[in-house]
Amino acid sequence: MTADRFSLAGRTALVTGSSRGIGAAMARAFAEAGADVAVHCAGRTDEAEKVAAQVRAAGRKAAVVQADLGAADGARRCWDGAIAGLGRVDILVLNASIQLPRPWLEATMEDFDRQMTVNVRASYELLRLAAPAMCDRGWGRILTIGSVQEAKPNPAMLVYAATKSAQSAMMRALAKQLAPQGVTINGLAPGVIDTDRTRERIVDDEYRRTVMSWIPTGRIGEPEDCVGAALLLCSDAGSYITGHNIFVDGGMSLP
């Protein structure tokens, strides 16, 4: 009976940025739990098609949605593609983001605008598109994917850390408004996870050792480490949790 609370049978999910990494792991896990999934990518669709094939192999329906969330119409195209493919969205995971690390005085305003558009504005637009319909149906789950940098910001990623904090602020601001309609909204903040983005930054052995020294559990996380918390917060098992941010970071955010 307890396991049934984690079932997503009959639900539909849109996971942005789900062609690889954490988003792909969540898309696969949601399908295994019974949900149909819209797999979103920004550019090339080949990786998204591979994840969609895994969703279908789990016996669920999959739709591939290509949309650059940095474009003026990106969020709308992403949403319309998910609706065209699935009919509705019960679960929205705001996972897609862009990270442009460099010393903040060297960053350009174009760098700033790009990160703000993809990480904050697109999230805001997708929230506006998804929440009303969820409220009308009396059930919905929204999950924002933040970062350990909300608690431990990297000096070279000032803007990225700020965008993730902004996303969490929107989550908390909406929690009370959506709760009476049966819609929860929470955050999941990963730490150092073994993704393409992370691997590019820790190729240097000395820097890798430094990063490892920040993680109490002594290991870099896998995308699948984020799946358990996501299933909790996006299923009936998490129906009494809203407005909270869960750090999945091996203890990195601890004081």
What residues contact 116, with CB distance under 8 A and at least 6 apart? 159, 163
| Residue 41 structure tokens | 């990518």
- Output phi, psi for 190, to 5 deg: -75, 155
Q: Walk across the sheet containing 140-145 and list its strands.
A: 62-66, 36-41, 12-15, 91-94, 140-145, 183-190, 245-248
Instruction: Please name which of 243, 211, 246 lies closest in space to residue 228, comparing C-alpha atoms.
Output: 246
- The answer to whether residue 207 is catalytic is no
Q: What is the dihedral sign for C-alpha 228, 92, 64, 119? A: negative
| Residue 95 structure tokens | 């996972």
- 3 state DSSP class of 190: strand
Q: What is the dihedral sign for C-alpha 129, 96, 123, 252? A: positive
| Residue 103 structure tokens | 């010393």
**Using the 8-state DSSP alphabet, how is residue 220 labeled?**
P
Total count of residues recorded for the chain: 255
Which residue among 124, 160, 207, 240 is the active-site one?
A: 160
Catalytic positions, please? 160
